[in-house]
Amino acid sequence: MTTHLLIDSIAHHGLVLPPLVLESSWFLALAGFVAINTVMFVALAVAKMLPRIYLSDWAPGRQRRSETRSIYPDSPP
Protein backbone atom coordinates (compact mmCIF):
# COMPACT_ATOMS: atom_id res chain seq x y z
CA MET A 1 0.00 0.00 0.00
CA THR A 2 1.46 3.34 -0.94
CA THR A 3 1.58 6.26 1.43
CA HIS A 4 -1.01 8.18 -0.58
CA LEU A 5 -3.52 5.33 -0.39
CA LEU A 6 -2.87 4.86 3.34
CA ILE A 7 -3.46 8.55 4.08
CA ASP A 8 -6.55 8.56 1.88
CA SER A 9 -7.91 5.48 3.69
CA ILE A 10 -7.28 7.02 7.12
CA ALA A 11 -8.91 10.31 6.11
CA HIS A 12 -11.89 8.48 4.64
CA HIS A 13 -12.58 6.50 7.82
CA GLY A 14 -11.85 9.43 10.15
CA LEU A 15 -9.17 7.60 12.12
CA VAL A 16 -6.12 9.56 13.14
CA LEU A 17 -4.60 7.04 15.55
CA PRO A 18 -4.63 3.27 15.21
CA PRO A 19 -6.90 1.27 17.54
CA LEU A 20 -3.86 -0.09 19.39
CA VAL A 21 -3.04 3.43 20.61
CA LEU A 22 -6.67 4.35 21.31
CA GLU A 23 -7.12 1.34 23.61
CA SER A 24 -3.82 1.72 25.50
CA SER A 25 -3.88 2.52 29.20
CA TRP A 26 -1.93 5.79 28.95
CA PHE A 27 -4.29 7.12 26.29
CA LEU A 28 -7.34 6.22 28.39
CA ALA A 29 -5.77 7.98 31.39
CA LEU A 30 -5.10 11.05 29.26
CA ALA A 31 -8.66 11.01 27.94
CA GLY A 32 -10.01 10.76 31.50
CA PHE A 33 -7.87 13.70 32.61
CA VAL A 34 -9.07 15.81 29.68
CA ALA A 35 -12.70 14.92 30.44
CA ILE A 36 -12.41 15.88 34.13
CA ASN A 37 -10.55 19.08 33.22
CA THR A 38 -13.27 20.02 30.72
CA VAL A 39 -16.05 19.48 33.26
CA MET A 40 -14.19 21.59 35.83
CA PHE A 41 -13.71 24.49 33.42
CA VAL A 42 -17.36 24.35 32.34
CA ALA A 43 -18.41 24.50 36.01
CA LEU A 44 -16.10 27.48 36.61
CA ALA A 45 -17.45 29.29 33.56
CA VAL A 46 -21.06 28.75 34.64
CA ALA A 47 -20.26 29.85 38.20
CA LYS A 48 -18.64 33.02 36.84
CA MET A 49 -21.80 33.89 34.89
CA LEU A 50 -24.11 33.55 37.90
CA PRO A 51 -24.62 36.47 40.28
CA ARG A 52 -22.57 36.53 43.47
CA ILE A 53 -24.02 35.04 46.62
CA TYR A 54 -23.25 36.90 49.83
CA LEU A 55 -23.26 35.03 53.13
CA SER A 56 -24.75 38.03 54.93
CA ASP A 57 -27.91 37.68 52.83
CA TRP A 58 -28.50 34.14 54.11
CA ALA A 59 -27.12 34.26 57.66
CA PRO A 60 -29.43 35.55 60.38
CA GLY A 61 -28.21 38.58 62.24
CA ARG A 62 -28.84 42.19 63.01
CA GLN A 63 -29.57 44.05 59.83
CA ARG A 64 -30.12 47.47 61.42
CA ARG A 65 -28.19 49.49 63.93
CA SER A 66 -29.71 50.12 67.33
CA GLU A 67 -28.70 53.79 67.10
CA THR A 68 -28.55 56.10 64.16
CA ARG A 69 -25.05 56.92 62.95
CA SER A 70 -26.13 59.91 60.89
CA ILE A 71 -24.66 63.37 61.23
CA TYR A 72 -28.27 64.46 61.76
CA PRO A 73 -29.30 62.20 64.69
CA ASP A 74 -32.82 63.64 65.03
CA SER A 75 -33.89 62.86 61.47
CA PRO A 76 -36.02 59.75 60.86
CA PRO A 77 -34.17 56.72 59.45
Per-residue pLDDT tens digits for 2-25: 777 777 776 666 667 777 888 899
Cα separation values, 4 from 15, 17, 18, 31, Å: 15, 17, 17, 30
27 pLDDT band, cuts 50/70/90, is very high
d(CA 59, CA 40): 28
Whether the per-residue pLDDT at 58 is higher than 80: the answer is: no
Work out the average pLDDT over 58-72.
70
CB 68 within 8 A of CB 77: yes
DSSP H helices in 15-71 = 19-22, 25-49, 55-58
Whether the per-residue pLDDT at 55 is higher than 90: the answer is: no
d(CA 17, CA 21): 6
